[in-house]
Structure 1
Amino acid sequence: MSTVLTEGRRIGAHIISESAGETGGMRSREVGVLTGNVKFLNGTVLGQVGVGAAVAAANGGNTGNATISAVTTGAGAKSGVYKVDFTAATKFDVTDPDGFKIKSGATGAAYADDLGFTITAGATPMVAGDGFTITVAAGTKKFKKLDPAAGDGSQNAAAILFGDVDATTADQKAVLTVRESEVSDFELVWPVGISDTNKAAAIAALGKKGIIVR
């Protein structure tokens, strides 16, 4: 009886072409740190942890005593301090850490943009000038498997793994494709059950880094 041999995934099989750089080095690749307590296969599409936890606090001089709860980070969250400034008893504006005003909101309704939260009116109404700060911690910049449902930055495709890496017991350094390359979609490892919409968004995000999925 003949022996059947099964070939595993070939290291670097996802790469069609890449940039060597002017000095002959591997311009397309960098070393990064993988986290997540899982095994990673060659060609895994990765996201990067860009932000940490978000913590809210009421401004010290508030007249009203509204409360804020269910604070989460969204797809566009930035590290730094967000300002929630009331313009009336039930209306507020939100400014991101770079000073840009984003979507306005109202008490009693779930807010969703860079951040998610709900402000609940208290016994004493808020007045114009009252508010909250929401401080978003900096992320670890480590890489995880792409997760479209995440809010820490790993929902955005940022790199592709070169090689197989076992990070089940500890974070591991790894070689990543991060820019200026062409890769084969057939050889990429996507999240199980990823939707066509999320996959298209991930491919577009990789494209902005010069990683073209063929």
Structure 2
Amino acid sequence: MVYAPQTPLQEQWHAGGFLISESNGRQSRERGLFAAGNRVLPGTVLGRQTVGSTAVAAPLGTNVGNGTFGQIAVGAGAIAGAYAVEFDDPTHFVVSDPGGKEIGHGVAGTAFSAGGIGFTVTVGSTAFAAADSFTVTVSQGPGKWVPCTATATDGSQVAAGISFGLVDATLNDVNGTIIARGAEVNGSELVWDASMNPTSIATALAQLSARGIVAR
């Protein structure tokens, strides 16, 4: 018998090809809006734009002091919603995130940066008093899905799902299907943004695992 060599079959990317199993009744899937400017392959690990780029400060009540906030920076790790800034005395304050978790202590007149936000409280003509307080409200993002990117600051740096199929949102926002929970996936068939290195990929896989999406 003469052996005739065969050309290897090259499997193409196809919808759901990365899945090993998913929850019954397609409970693992949800529809979502993919942001324009992306052509997403099946198996692409996604993040969601949950955090806006702006924040506004406002007194939480009637304050004694009349100091003001400078420009507020929103960066990686920020959470959409209202942060609380409460003074312990005329110069020292504590900052808590929208969930009530303390993220740091600051001093009036000195730049504060923690928890994804940065600002400076300028002392006014009347000093602050204990219990003077402000909210710093970080805007909501559009909630659109994009490839999970290590350098993002809009929430999409956190892995939140996997694209089920090919979604061509090159020119416009396009609806697509996301594996968002309760699934086993082939880790070797996942598609990663070029910004993701081994460390950030390991972090993203842990984030997916927390959602019940386990890579084998």
Residue 6 of structure 2 corresponds to none
Amino acid at match of 1:46: L
Amino acid at match of 1:51: V
Report if the CA contact (8 A) 2:78-2:117 is conserved. no
Report if the CA contact (8 A) 2:94-2:106 is conserved. yes
Instruction: State the distance in 2 between where 1:8 and 1:200 align.
Output: 26
Please give the root-mean-square deviation of Cα atoms over the aligned residues, in Å. 2.6
Shift of 1:73: 4.4
Deviation track 1:82-116 (CA, whole Å, cap 9, x = no partner) reads 22112233321113334443322234133111x31
Please tell me whether residue 67 in structure 1 is matched to residue 69 in structure 2. Answer: yes
Report if the CA contact (8 A) 2:38-2:146 is conserved. no
Q: Which ranges of 4 or more aligned residues in structure 1 deviate by more than 4 Å? A: none
Amino acid at match of 1:48: R
Residue 176 of structure 1 corresponds to 178
Q: 2:13 aligns with which of 9, 15, 22?
A: 9
Q: Are the structure 2 counterparts of residues 149 and 90 from structure 1 closer, same or farther at C-alpha, using a change threshold of 3 Å?
A: farther
Q: 2:153 aligns with which of 147, 151, 154?
A: 151
Report if the CA contact (8 A) 1:66-1:126 is conserved. no
Deviation track 1:49-104 (CA, whole Å, cap 9, x = no partner) reads 22324422242645242433242044251x32222112233321113334443322
Residue 140 of structure 1 corresponds to 142
Unaligned runs of 5+ in 2: 1-8
SS in 2 for 1:174: strand
Identity among equivalent positions (%) equals: 36
Residue 41 of structure 1 corresponds to 41
Deviation track 1:109-166 (CA, whole Å, cap 9, x = no partner) reads 33111x3112143453443333432112333322111022222221110100011111
Shift of 1:7: 5.5
Report if the CA contact (8 A) 1:163-1:175 is conserved. yes
SS in 2 for 1:152: coil
SS in 2 for 1:163: coil
Task: State the structure with more CA Rg.
Answer: 2
Report if the CA contact (8 A) 2:50-2:143 is conserved. yes
1:102-141 equivalences under 5 Å are 102-107=103-108, 108-113=110-115, 115-122=116-123, 124=125, 125-141=127-143
Residue 30 of structure 1 corresponds to 30
Q: Are the structure 2 counterparts of residues 54 and 130 from structure 1 closer, same or farther at C-alpha, using a change threshold of 3 Å?
A: farther
Q: Are the structure 2 counterparts of residues 93 and 36 from structure 1 closer, same or farther at C-alpha, using a change threshold of 3 Å?
A: farther
Residue 57 of structure 1 corresponds to 57
Q: Are the structure 2 counterparts of residues 207 and 6 from structure 1 closer, same or farther at C-alpha, using a change threshold of 3 Å?
A: closer
Residue 189 of structure 2 corresponds to 187
TM-score relative to the length of structure 2: 0.82
Residue 85 of structure 2 corresponds to 84
Instruction: State the distance in 2 between where 1:203 and 1:168 align.
Output: 26
